[in-house]
């Protein structure tokens, strides 16, 4: 690998790690809002989201430059593809952080509606998945990444249970509909965070093994040599 | 069966397998093996240049050989039509099979072999003759004298080499007046004139500008519908672009061979990965 490319790839890696740290921090604070919502934090998250959008574009730009100038292959190609995709996933997680915080603030007008503990637990699990998928990227650990992918089904189950619970509550307390809709959206957004964590983990498997496992369970193609 | 020199049986210079309809060789069709080496060792005097090379080359596809300078890829390429025979002090063990027949069998007519397994070199080598005479050279050596048949062969060879439109009005001009890219396509046309099954190309575009390189690469893509093509290249991107399978050689050993897309995205061997990503070599 040429010195120029080495430098560009190394900078990309650093930029992505900085983005990971910032987005993890954002999603932590957004989920904390479910327990203690406040508008100031929500506003800060909006500002930070703009910053993440800018970083995402910068990383994409830098990846395209590497592709155009050096035509990388093998691990270098997979690295660039993974960085570009992970950056996109993180950008969406940052969007979700803002949305979750907004939903939490939406609950301030309905103190009688409590955020279910199951949602807080689900959110912590989604954050854990995101953290472990990022760790897997840093450690180039596809085994850990695959474990994250397996967790997504459990989050989907929790999501279903919570949605059913909320729908029952809507029938029972139609006067709380506005607040319950905020909760409904928050549940879906937390579930999406877990989806993005899974996508990142899948990107790590591609980075390490060169194998695309996205949709593999549906297509039944995640076999050696596929 | 490869034509062999026997008292009873005249040698046929015609391809043994009839040309087929063009098809994309990038598909997953299981192709018949055109060329195969088994446990091939090759020596320049006491220096062993190739070690135990066993490789199969499917018909009507492009196989690229890559590797650092001195890795043996050109030696291996030249073995496939016995071009190394002309170098004194060389010897080999193991087999090289063309459609299952050992090309080193003493009964094999080497001239007939080289007609079936043509070669294009790094530096274009037009003869100091007219464009027409360059292309007609091979068929004439093979004994063809009929001018109308020669004209047909020249035209069809130049068309297959994507050069006809550029030279059809100056067939009597010297081939030396052509541009570098045109000269290289002329050499490809000359190789095609003897109706080979296999085309060996040793760095065919290394001395060409980007536009001429693209033309040669496009030509390789077109030709693989009907020919088995083996190309040696130092240009990794070129190997990735034009070939269906890639073989990586290092220090006289065949390290890895596989579908090009796979080798360039997830090579199995660390040496391959290190080489194609520029970490050594």
pLDDT of residue A218: 58
A121 touches chain B (CB under 8 A): no
pLDDT above 90 covers a percentage of chain A that reads 84
Distance from the Cα of A1 to chain B's closest Cα (Å) equals 4
For the stretch B52-91, pLDDT in tens is 999 999 999 999 999 999 999 999 999 999 999 889 999 9
Distance separating alpha carbons of residues B252 and B72, to the nearest angstrom: 5
For the stretch B215-272, pLDDT in tens is 889 889 989 999 999 999 988 889 999 999 999 999 999 999 999 999 999 999 999 9
Beta-carbon separation of A73 and B279 below 8 A: no
pLDDT of residue B205: 87
CATH number of B32-276: 3.40.50.300
Handedness of CA A186, A188, A192, A198 (dihedral sign): positive
Distance separating alpha carbons of residues B272 and A4, to the nearest angstrom: 22
pLDDT of residue A220: 56
Beta-carbon separation of B237 and A1 below 8 A: no
Q: Which of chain A's residues have a Cβ under 8 Å away from the Cβ of B240?
A: 73
pLDDT of residue B44: 94
Beta-carbon separation of B264 and A74 below 8 A: yes
Q: Which of chain A's residues have a Cβ under 8 Å away from the Cβ of B267?
A: 74
Cβ count near A90 (within 10 Å) = 26
Strand, helix or coil at B135? helix
Secondary structure (H, E, C), A85-108: HHHHHHHHHHHHHHHHHHHHHHHH
Distance from the Cα of B211 to chain A's closest Cα (Å) equals 18
Distance separating alpha carbons of residues A76 and A1, to the nearest angstrom: 9
Phi, psi of B250, deg, nearest 5: -150, 125
Beta-carbon separation of B264 and A2 below 8 A: no
Per-residue pLDDT in tens (0 to 9) along chain A, 226 residues? 678 888 999 999 999 999 999 999 999 999 999 888 889 999 999 999 999 999 999 999 999 999 998 999 999 999 999 999 999 999 999 999 999 999 999 988 888 888 999 999 999 999 999 999 999 999 999 999 999 999 999 999 999 999 999 999 999 999 999 999 999 999 999 999 999 999 999 999 999 999 999 887 655 555 544 4
For the stretch B3-57, pLDDT in tens is 444 444 434 434 444 333 333 344 455 789 999 999 999 999 999 999 999 999 9
Task: Report the mean per-residue pLDDT for chain B.
Answer: 87
Q: Are B54 and B37 in contact (CB under 8 A)?
A: yes
Beta-carbon separation of A211 and B266 below 8 A: yes
Distance separating alpha carbons of residues A62 and A70, to the nearest angstrom: 12
Distance separating alpha carbons of residues A199 and A214, to the nearest angstrom: 8
Distance from the Cα of A78 to chain B's closest Cα (Å) equals 7
What residue segments make up the domains of chain B, in order of their start?
32-276
Phi, psi of B81, deg, nearest 5: -130, 25
- To the nearest 10°, the Cα dihedral for A66, A68, A71, A75? 30
Beta-carbon separation of A71 and B237 below 8 A: yes
- What's this model's pTM, rounded to 2 decimal places? 0.79
Beta-carbon separation of B277 and A72 below 8 A: yes
Q: Which of chain A's residues have a Cβ under 8 Å away from the Cβ of B266?
A: 74, 78, 209-211
Q: Which of chain B's residues have a Cβ under 8 Å away from the Cβ of A1?
A: 277-279
Distance separating alpha carbons of residues B249 and B233, to the nearest angstrom: 12
Distance from the Cα of A20 to chain B's closest Cα (Å) equals 26
Pairing state of beta strands B198-202 and B117-120? parallel
Say which of B237, B240, B278 has its CB closest to residue A2: B278
Q: Which of chain B's residues have a Cβ under 8 Å away from the Cβ of A76?
A: 277
A24 touches chain B (CB under 8 A): no
Residues on B contacting A at a C-beta cutoff of 8 Å:
236-237, 240, 264-267, 272-273, 276-279
Pairing state of beta strands B47-58 and B33-44? antiparallel
Give the pLDDT band (50/70/90) at residue B281: low
Beta-carbon separation of B265 and A72 below 8 A: no
CB pairs under 8 A between A and B: 33
Residues whose CB is less than 8 angstroms from the CB of residue A161 and which lie 6 or more positions away in sequence, other chains included: A118
Distance from the Cα of A59 to chain B's closest Cα (Å) equals 21
A67 touches chain B (CB under 8 A): no
Distance separating alpha carbons of residues A187 and A158, to the nearest angstrom: 9
Instruction: Name the strands in the sheet holding B101-102, side by side, starting at the edge strand that comes first in the sequence.
Output: B47-58, B33-44, B90-98, B101-102
Distance from the Cα of B24 to chain A's closest Cα (Å) equals 21
Going from the N-terminus, what domains does chain A have, and what CATH number goes with each? 3-222 (1.20.58.220)
Q: Which of chain A's residues have a Cβ under 8 Å away from the Cβ of B258?
A: none
Instruction: Name the strands in the sheet holding B62-66, side by side, starting at the edge strand that comes first in the sequence.
Output: B117-120, B198-202, B228-232, B62-66, B245-250, B253-259
**How high is the ipTM of this complex?**
0.73
Strand, helix or coil at A211? coil
Torsional class of A34: left (φ above 0), alpha (ψ -120 to 50), beta (otherwise): alpha
Beta-carbon separation of A74 and B265 below 8 A: yes
């Amino acid at each position: 690998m040429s010195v120029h490319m080495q430098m560009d790839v190394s900078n990309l890696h650093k930029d992505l790690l900085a983005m990971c740290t910032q987005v993890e921090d954002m999603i932590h604070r957004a989920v904390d809002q479910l327990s203690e919502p406040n508008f100031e934090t929500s506003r800060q998250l909006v500002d930070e989201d703009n910053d993440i959008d800018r970083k995402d574009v910068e990383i994409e730009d830098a990846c395209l430059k590497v592709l155009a100038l050096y035509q990388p292959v093998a691990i270098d190609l997979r690295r660039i593809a993974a960085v570009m995709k992970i950056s996109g996933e993180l950008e969406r997680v940052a969007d979700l952080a803002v949305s979750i915080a907004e939903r939490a603030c939406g609950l301030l007008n309905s103190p009688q509606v409590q955020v279910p503990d199951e949602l807080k637990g689900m959110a912590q699990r989604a954050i854990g998945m995101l953290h472990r998928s990022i760790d897997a990227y840093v450690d180039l650990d596809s085994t850990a990444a695959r474990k994250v992918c397996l967790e997504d089904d459990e989050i989907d189950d929790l999501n279903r249970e919570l949605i059913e619970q909320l729908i029952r509550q809507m029938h029972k307390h139609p006067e709380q509909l506005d607040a319950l809709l905020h909760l409904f959206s928050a549940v879906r957004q937390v579930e999406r965070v877990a989806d993005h964590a899974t996508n990142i983990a899948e990107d790590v498997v591609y980075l390490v093994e060169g194998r695309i496992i996205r949709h593999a369970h549906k297509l039944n193609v995640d076999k050696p040599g596929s | 069966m490869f034509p062999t020199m026997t008292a009873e049986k005249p040698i046929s210079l015609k391809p043994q397998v009839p040309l087929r309809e063009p098809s994309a060789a990038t598909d997953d069709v299981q192709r018949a093996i055109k060329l195969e080496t088994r446990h091939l060792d090759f020596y320049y005097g006491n220096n062993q240049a190739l070690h135990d090379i066993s490789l199969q080359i499917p018909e009507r596809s492009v196989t690229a050989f890559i590797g650092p300078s001195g890795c043996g890829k050109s030696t291996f390429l030249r073995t496939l039509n016995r071009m190394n025979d002309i170098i004194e002090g060389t010897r080999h063990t193991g087999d090289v099979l063309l459609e299952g027949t050992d090309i080193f069998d003493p009964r094999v007519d080497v001239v007939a072999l080289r007609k079936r397994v043509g070669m294009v070199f790094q530096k274009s080598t037009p003869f100091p003759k007219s464009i027409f005479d360059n292309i007609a050279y091979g068929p004439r050596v093979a004994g063809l004298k009929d001018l109308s048949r020669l004209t047909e062969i020249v035209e069809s060879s130049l068309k297959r080499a994507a050069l006809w439109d550029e030279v059809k009005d100056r067939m009597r001009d010297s081939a030396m007046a052509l541009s570098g890219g045109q000269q290289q396509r002329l050499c490809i046309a000359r190789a095609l004139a003897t109706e080979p099954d296999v085309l060996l190309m040793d760095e065919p575009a290394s001395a060409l500008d980007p536009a001429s390189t693209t033309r040669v690469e496009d030509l390789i893509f077109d030709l693989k519908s009907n020919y088995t093509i083996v190309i040696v290249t130092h240009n990794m991107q070129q190997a990735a672009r034009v070939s269906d399978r890639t073989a990586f050689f290092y220090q006289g050993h065949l390290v890895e061979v596989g579908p090009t897309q796979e080798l360039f995205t997830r090579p199995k061997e660390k040496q391959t990965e290190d080489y194609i990503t520029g970490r050594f070599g």
